[in-house]
Amino acid sequence: MRTRTLLWVTVLGLLLWASCIQSNQEETKEETKEETEEGTPLEPVEDEEPPKKEKTTEIEEEADVMILHSVNFGRALTENKYLLVEFYAPWCGHCKQLEPVYAAAAEKLKKEESAMRLAKVDATVERELAEEFDVGGFPTLKLFINGDRKQPVDFTGKRSTDGIIQWMKRRAGPGAPVLDTVGSAAQFIDAHNISVVGFFKDLESDASKAFSDISYDMTDVEFAKTMTAEVFQKYEVKGDSVVLFKKFDDGRADFPLSEEGKLDKGNVTTFIKFNSLELIVKFSQETAEKIFTSGITLHSLLFINSTVQTQTDLVEQTRPVAKDFKGKMLFIVIDVMDPVTHVLNYFGVSADEVPTVRLINMGTEKKFGIPAGDLTVESLRQLCKDVVDGSAKPYYRSQEIPENWNEGPVKVLVGKNFESVALDQTKNVFVEFYAPWCGHCKELAPIWKELGEKYADRQDIVIAMMDATANEVESVDVKGFPTLKYFPAGGKEVVEYTGKRDLETFTKFLDNGGVLPEEEEDEEDEVDIDDAKDGDKDGDESKVEESAEETTNETEKDEL
């Protein structure tokens, strides 16, 4: 068995339809097959242990990344004013993904001959360092400034080459500039598409300091401060406030602080992220992260073909609806001419039926739609209203029922025939929910077919399977592949099968009425949907605590 890492539900939803745009499907399939079939042990087993190299204070480099250990760590801190250190494990999948990105950032910073350098520590070997710096997962990145090893700064930037460099430079920079004249304020605001200005009566206040902390983390936005009365007057700001200026939509958004002058960093960060988005956002890799971290869980997706003028006109026609629901729902345009096949599949949209709309609640993962041909501005407005007040009825994807669904030993289920078969009060139905690309599902296929053949003559037992990547059922929550569920006759409670996936154990389970002897229970690896989150919302780390028997091969479902 292994520990299953359950991620925050909202983040699951946010990444649900984005990660497919950010990754190539074929690569995902190959990685999935490789990881699920072979697994990744906590620590690699070697036939012969290589001779250990004596540690010295010398600092070696690998692809411009300094290799540190307990002996040379102190020297590295002393010699480098800004040192970002990655604590990694050789077997960690996320660490392997980060490696080329990290090396590219290290190379660029080294060529610039700046005071910023990158290093790494194998935390599975250097356990004392890992313990000293409270490394709880891999990879963990910490920035050491001026040799201070007591208070390193946790990395909060994007795990991309540019993201690492931008975050480092923001941390090494002078911080948000002070705008002490109306002219300097106007020049700063005019120079950027989006700029955030903190208006504070006292630049040494706790609120001002908290504002600076935010500026260090949000590297894709330009920040400045002012306490000059003339600047307050020019921009009609009465008291301590954070104002976001933008060269689109309303032009600005204001966040007045409370009467006590307190600034909540989380609230201000959400305010900035949300108001940095246009009223109607075109979905792309560049806008994806802002969409998914906006704090708004209701998303309205308008699918159009940008080569058709009437469809591009529809975007502007829906703008009044977007204004009416601003703050409650994000409005996003998805162009079917872009490489968005995964998104179309997830929402059950074909390119020839656009324009069409789908709404999704990222918290509940429920989806809503407008029947084909019924899309108007008013029908969109009504659907948005119904979704917001909770009266809208969600829809669930389904393939068409195959003509031969009932002919083989394993019955083929889709959303449209699931209830009539699986919930038949006179049958005991054993269903495999699978993904076509899942390695474990492919391994199970011949055994499942043999099981179907074994019980083909039993009128009270049905062996079935359903592609859970193309079909959804309201009453069934599929968290990984394969998921096996037993639906007993008489409407009894559904049983989640957790035993060994072999014919003998399956037979015992079925012959025993859906009950498996306790000693037989032995949950095997499955492909976790929840573990597909290294899209990369940074912080999705392999846990240190996993035992040697547990695998860290958490593989991905194609998520949109």
Question: Is the confidence at residue 497, as pLDDT, over 80?
Answer: yes
CA distance 487 to 480: 18
- State the amino acid at position 432 in one-letter form: E
DSSP 198: E
pLDDT score for 48: 58
CA distance 486 to 118: 52
Question: Is the confidence at residue 543, as pLDDT, over 80?
Answer: no
Which pTM value belongs to this model?
0.68
Tell me the backbone φ, ψ of residue 428, rounded to 5 degrees.
Answer: -100, 115
Whether the CB-CB separation of 72 and 56 falls below 8 Å is answered with yes
Question: Is the confidence at residue 19, as pLDDT, over 50?
Answer: no
Among 473, 478, 350, CA closest to 417: 473
Q: What is the DSSP string of 247-295?
A: SSTTSEEEEEPPTT----HHHHHHHHHHHTS-SEEEP-HHHHHHHHTSS
Q: Read off the pLDDT of residues 30-84 as tens digits, 9 standing for 90 and up.
A: 333 333 333 333 344 445 556 677 899 999 999 999 999 999 999 999 999 999 9
Q: Read off the pLDDT of residues 347-389 as tens digits, 9 standing for 90 and up.
A: 888 888 899 999 999 988 899 999 878 999 999 999 999 999 9
Question: Is the confidence at residue 213, as pLDDT, over 70?
Answer: yes
CA distance 449 to 307: 47
Q: Read off the pLDDT of residues 270-300 as tens digits, 9 standing for 90 and up.
A: 999 999 999 999 999 888 888 988 889 999 9
pLDDT score for 182: 97
Q: Is 36 helix (H, G, I), strand (E, B) or coil?
A: helix
Which range among 36-40, 144-148, 200-204, 339-343 shows the weakest confidence by mean pLDDT?
A: 36-40
DSSP 64: T
CA distance 210 to 215: 9
* Residue 513 region by backbone torsions, left for phi larger than 0, else alpha for psi between -120 and 50, else beta: left
Q: Is 428 helix (H, G, I), strand (E, B) or coil?
A: strand
CA distance 560 to 554: 18
pLDDT, averaged across the chain:
85
CA angle 240–243–248, rounded 5-degree value: 165
Length of the chain: 560
**Residues labelled as active-site residues:** 92, 95, 438, 441
pLDDT score for 345: 81
Name the band, by pLDDT with cuts 50, 70 and 90, for residue 20.
very low
CA angle 201–206–211, rounded 5-degree value: 80
- State the amino acid at position 103 in one-letter form: A
Q: How far is CA 221 from CA 12, 103, 269, in A?
A: 25, 25, 11
Which range among 328-337, 408-417, 506-515, 524-533 shows the weakest confidence by mean pLDDT?
A: 524-533
75 contact partners, CB below 8 Å, separation of at least 6: 57, 59
CA distance 138 to 524: 24
| Burial class of residue 173 (count of CB atoms within 10 Å of its CB; 0-12, 13-18, 19+) | exposed
pLDDT score for 532: 38
Q: Read off the pLDDT of residues 156-192 as tens digits, 9 standing for 90 and up.
A: 999 999 999 999 999 999 889 999 999 999 999 999 9
Q: Is the peptide bond before 517 cis (omega within 30 degrees of 0)?
A: no
Domains and CATH numbers, the chain: 61-171 (3.40.30.10), 174-276 (3.40.30.10), 280-389 (3.40.30.10), 411-512 (3.40.30.10)
Q: Dihedral of CA 81/84/87/88: which sign?
A: negative
